[in-house]
């Protein structure tokens, strides 16, 4: 402990010097010496001594007691009075300033030394006490938890800012007028709290609901201990934590768990969670029902008990270890119910799941017995359909052969007769031979259309794609084929080529059939006017072919069905011949050759069919 600095306040010079000498002999430091109350106050402010020896009777307008009173309040410096007077009035005046000692002159060295040491010790203890009180007050006021002291009856004796704000009050004075018991939503809870305190001496984490000033409810956790104040009264010192958010989160978690449990028990699949040894940890209601598991025996059951196939644990663990390495597993298996021998088909999806840092296997199991039956039925139906398509194709091919052969024979012999009877044909039978030829060709085209449609539908139509010049290899042949027929009807028929490139990549036969059908229809539905084939390229070099006519046209309403099989606008009362397959086949031929077709038409004006081909380099 450092040597105290002492200020001497004495109005008599000789006495002052004597006191200073004795202080120095005792090892103290004299900070200074003054003779009046005014000087005492000034020096105390300037020097801030550790202790003041104060005479009561001083020079000037104020005495030692008045000076001491000011210094005590302003600077809190300990003071020892020195005086020759010990009358009751002086002592009573001096007591008000709470001096650390009162020495009667003449002063003895031992008494002076003892008084100074006691005063310094007492001053240090008081400073430590004040510091401790300041720290306690700071902790009390700045704590995030609510802190309080109440009486046994529930009167609030102390409360910090955190508690005041927690309960919605503006100040301690606002709160202190409230009875603690009235703060509980259920006042009976207070009785339980008091009983615990009286029996245990302290309570930790006592949860209850409190009402705030505005009437709203909060959840609190309260800890307290029973104690006794300075006057011997029983008091309760405690802390309060607002756990409203925590409780709400717990309630939400509980609701969430209940919801998840409901979902878990009501999902369509059976769900099992088991360890690497197959021991079941959790099973939902669907699993209990599917495998006939007793709920009380779930934890004693192994997933291999349900297998209808001989499977060793080691073999099963090979797959399970793969799942635990992050590779989910989907398998089909035969299963059985406990206590039953009959088996059924299941599908199992196994994935990894972590619970409390331990890895388990989550098995989603579905009874696929009915699905497999349906699948088998579909396979059988597909096989029957494929067999039916094969037989139909064979039948149509056979019928095509049977019809084409005699028709070709008729056409050939008709051609010979026409040549031998040229004079008669021109005069008498020309129209007859012409009708026979037209009818025969129509019959052959009809058979070809039906056969082609069947092959396309069954996927047996053979496509051989190659690079070709559409104008030279296809369109010129089509133009030559229909040139005479158009002339016989008095229709202007021409081909207009405006291309820089007419190269396409496609199937020769189907492309020929595509444009044969379009030109045939154009001539068929045109009484007078013209039919034109036009080729051109767009800006990207893609090839377009327009087949246009000035025929009967198509109504806007019927355009959306133009490529539907067996469709013709005039229905069963139509004036024109045909199967109704032509444009349907045209659409199919376009698809086979990666081309697109569109149509523009106006009733009684004419139609234009536009075929678009991909660019070929």
**CATH number of the CATH domain containing 298:** 3.30.450.20
Q: Is the pLDDT of residue 143 over 80?
A: no
pLDDT at site 565: 64
pLDDT at site 479: 95
**Minimum mean pLDDT among 184-188, 232-236, 277-281, 442-446: which range?**
442-446
pLDDT at site 28: 92
**Minimum mean pLDDT among 24-28, 250-254, 276-280, 404-408: which range?**
404-408
Residue 257 counted as domain residue: no
Residue 260 counted as domain residue: no
pLDDT at site 247: 85
Average the pLDDT over 531-545 and give the result.
94
Torsion-angle region of residue 482: left (phi > 0), alpha (psi -120 to 50) or beta? Answer: alpha
Residue 434 counted as domain residue: yes
Residue 609 counted as domain residue: yes
User: Are residues 301 and 316 part of one domain?
Assistant: yes
Q: Looking at 403, 421, 456, which one is the last position of a domain?
A: 456
pLDDT at site 468: 94
pLDDT band at 459 (very low <50, low <70, confident <90, very high): low
pLDDT band at 548 (very low <50, low <70, confident <90, very high): very high
pLDDT band at 139 (very low <50, low <70, confident <90, very high): low
Letter string b/e over residues 450-474, b meaning 16 or more CB atoms within 10 A of that residue's CB? bbbbbbbebeebeeeeeebebbebb
pLDDT band at 411 (very low <50, low <70, confident <90, very high): low
Q: Is the pLDDT of residue 244 over 60?
A: yes
Number of domains in the chain: 5
pLDDT at site 381: 87
Residue 261 counted as domain residue: no
Identity of the highest mean pLDDT range in 2-6, 66-70, 226-230, 531-535? 531-535
pLDDT at site 412: 67
Q: Is the pLDDT of residue 497 over 90?
A: yes
Rounded to whole angstroms, the Cα distance separating 558 from 542 reads 29
Calculate the average pLDDT of the chain.
Answer: 83
User: Are residues 163 and 130 part of one domain?
Assistant: no
User: Are residues 236 and 158 part of one domain?
Assistant: yes
Q: Is the pLDDT of residue 503 over 90?
A: yes
**What percent of the chain has a predicted confidence (pLDDT) above 90?**
28
Rounded to whole angstroms, the Cα distance separating 549 from 561 reads 20
Residue 361 counted as domain residue: yes
Cis amide prior to 59 (ω within 30 degrees): no
**Minimum mean pLDDT among 356-370, 451-465, 495-509: which range?**
451-465
CATH of the domain at 540: 3.30.565.10
User: Are residues 442 and 301 part of one domain?
Assistant: no
Q: What is the residue range of 376's domain? A: 372-456
Average the pLDDT over 103-130 and give the result.
86
pLDDT at site 473: 95
Q: Looking at 116, 138, 160, which one is the last position of a domain?
A: 138
CATH of the domain at 83: 3.40.50.2300
| Interhelix angle 508-524/476-488, nearest 10 degrees | 20
Average the pLDDT over 434-458 and give the result.
62
Residue 153 counted as domain residue: yes
User: Are residues 447 and 484 part of one domain?
Assistant: no
pLDDT band at 549 (very low <50, low <70, confident <90, very high): very high
pLDDT band at 455 (very low <50, low <70, confident <90, very high): low
Q: Looking at 221, 248, 275, which one is the last position of a domain?
A: 248
The partner residues of 7 in beta bridges, in order of sequence, read 32, 52
Instruction: Report which of residues 459 and 112 the model is more confident about.
Output: 112
User: Are residues 599 and 489 part of one domain?
Assistant: yes
The partner residues of 548 in beta bridges, in order of sequence, read 532, 608
Q: Is the pLDDT of residue 574 over 50?
A: no
User: Are residues 160 and 100 part of one domain?
Assistant: no
pLDDT band at 440 (very low <50, low <70, confident <90, very high): low
Q: Is the pLDDT of residue 467 over 70?
A: yes
Q: Is the pLDDT of residue 52 over 50?
A: yes
Instruction: Report which of residues 398 and 609 the model is more confident about.
Output: 609
User: Are residues 289 and 210 part of one domain?
Assistant: no
Residue 272: phi, psi to the nearest 5?
-125, 140
pLDDT at site 407: 64
- Catalogue the long-range contacts made by 100-107 (C-beta closer than 8 Å, 24 or more residues apart): 100/51, 105/15, 107/19, 107/22, 107/82
Residue 279 counted as domain residue: yes
User: Are residues 407 and 358 part of one domain?
Assistant: no
User: Are residues 271 and 335 part of one domain?
Assistant: yes
pLDDT band at 53 (very low <50, low <70, confident <90, very high): very high
Distance (Å) of CA 466 to CA 450, 506, 511? 25, 5, 11
User: Are residues 596 and 478 part of one domain?
Assistant: yes
Average the pLDDT over 95-103 and give the result.
87
Q: Is the pLDDT of residue 529 over 50?
A: yes
Average the pLDDT over 59-88 and give the result.
88
Rounded to whole angstroms, the Cα distance separating 219 from 211 reads 9
Contact 337, 291 (CB under 8 A): yes
pLDDT at site 578: 47
Burial degree of 9 (CB within 10 A; 0-12, 13-18, 19+): buried
Instruction: Report which of residues 372 and 447 the model is more confident about.
Output: 372
pLDDT band at 572 (very low <50, low <70, confident <90, very high): very low
Rounded to whole angstroms, the Cα distance separating 76 from 122 reads 13
Average the pLDDT over 194-213 and give the result.
87
Q: Is the pLDDT of residue 583 over 50?
A: yes
User: Are residues 285 and 161 part of one domain?
Assistant: no
**Minimum mean pLDDT among 168-182, 250-264, 416-430, 479-493: which range?**
416-430
Which residue, 448, 507, 511, 506, is CA-closest to 476?
Answer: 511
pLDDT at site 579: 45
pLDDT at site 50: 92
């Amino acid at each position: 402990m450092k040597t105290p600095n002492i200020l001497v306040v004495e109005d008599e010079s000789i006495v002052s010097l004597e006191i200073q000498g004795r202080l120095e002999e005792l090892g103290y430091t004299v900070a200074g010496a003054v003779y009046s109350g005014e000087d005492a106050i000034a020096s105390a402010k300037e020097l801030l001594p550790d202790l003041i020896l104060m005479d009561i009777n001083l020079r000037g307008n104020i005495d030692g007691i008045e000076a001491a009173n000011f210094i005590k309040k302003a600077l809190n410096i300990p003071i020892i009075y020195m005086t020759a007077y010990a009358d009751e009035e002086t002592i009573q005046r001096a007591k008000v300033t709470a001096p650390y000692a009162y020495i009667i002159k003449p002063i003895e060295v031992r008494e002076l030394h003892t008084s100074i040491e006691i005063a310094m010790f007492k001053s240090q203890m008081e400073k430590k006490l004040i510091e401790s009180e300041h720290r306690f007050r700071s902790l009390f006021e700045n704590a995030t938890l609510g802190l309080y002291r109440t009486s046994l009856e529930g009167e609030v004796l102390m409360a910090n800012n955190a508690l005041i704000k927690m309960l919605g009050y503006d100040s301690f004075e606002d709160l202190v007028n409230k009875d603690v018991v009235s703060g509980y939503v259920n006042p009976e809870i207070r009785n339980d709290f008091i009983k615990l305190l009286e029996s245990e001496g302290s309570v930790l984490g006592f949860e209850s609901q409190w009402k705030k000033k505005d009437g709203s409810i909060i959840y609190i956790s309260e800890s307290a201990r029973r104690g006794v104040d300075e006057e011997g009264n029983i008091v309760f010192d405690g802390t309060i934590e607002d756990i409203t958010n925590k409780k709400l989160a717990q309630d939400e978690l509980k609701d969430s768990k209940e919801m998840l449990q409901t979902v878990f028990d009501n999902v369509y699949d059976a769900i099992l969670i088991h360890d690497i040894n197959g021991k079941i940890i959790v099973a939902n209601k669907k699993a209990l029902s599917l495998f006939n598991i007793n709920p009380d025996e779930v934890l004693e059951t192994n997933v291999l008990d349900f297998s209808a196939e001989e499977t060793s644990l080691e073999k099963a663990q090979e797959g399970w270890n793969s799942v635990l390495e992050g590779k989910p597993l989907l398998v089909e298996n035969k299963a059985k119910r406990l206590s039953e021998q009959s088996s059924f088909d299941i599908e199992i999806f196994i994935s990894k799941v972590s619970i409390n840092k331990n890895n388990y296997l989550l098995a989603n199991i579905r009874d696929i017995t009915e699905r497999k039956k349906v699948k088998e039925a579909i396979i059988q139906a597909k096989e029957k359909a494929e067999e039916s398509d094969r037989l139909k194709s064979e039948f149509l091919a056979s019928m095509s052969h049977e019809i084409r052969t005699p028709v070709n024979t008729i056409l050939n012999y008709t051609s010979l007769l026409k040549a031998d009877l040229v004079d008669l044909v021109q005069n008498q039978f020309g129209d007859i031979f012409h009708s026979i030829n037209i009818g025969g060709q129509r019959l052959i085209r009809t058979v070809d259309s039906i056969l082609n449609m069947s092959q396309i539908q069954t996927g047996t139509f053979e496509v051989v794609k190659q690079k070709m010049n559409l104008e030279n290899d296809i369109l010129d042949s089509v133009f030559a084929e229909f040139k005479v027929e158009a002339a016989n009807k008095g229709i202007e028929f021409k081909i207009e080529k405006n291309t820089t490139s007419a190269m396409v990549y496609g199937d020769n036969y189907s492309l020929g059939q595509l444009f044969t059908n379009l030109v045939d229809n154009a001539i068929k539905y045109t009484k007078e006017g013209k039919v034109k084939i036009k080729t051109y390229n767009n800006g990207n070099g893609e090839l377009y072919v327009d087949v246009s006519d000035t025929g009967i046209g198509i109504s806007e309403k019927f355009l959306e069905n133009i490529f539907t099989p067996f469709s013709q606008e005039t229905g069963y009362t139509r004036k024109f011949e045909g199967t109704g397959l032509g444009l349907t086949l045209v659409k199919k031929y376009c698809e086979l050759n990666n081309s697109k077709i569109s149509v523009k038409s106006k009733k009684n004006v004419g139609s234009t069919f536009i075929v678009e081909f991909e660019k070929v380099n």
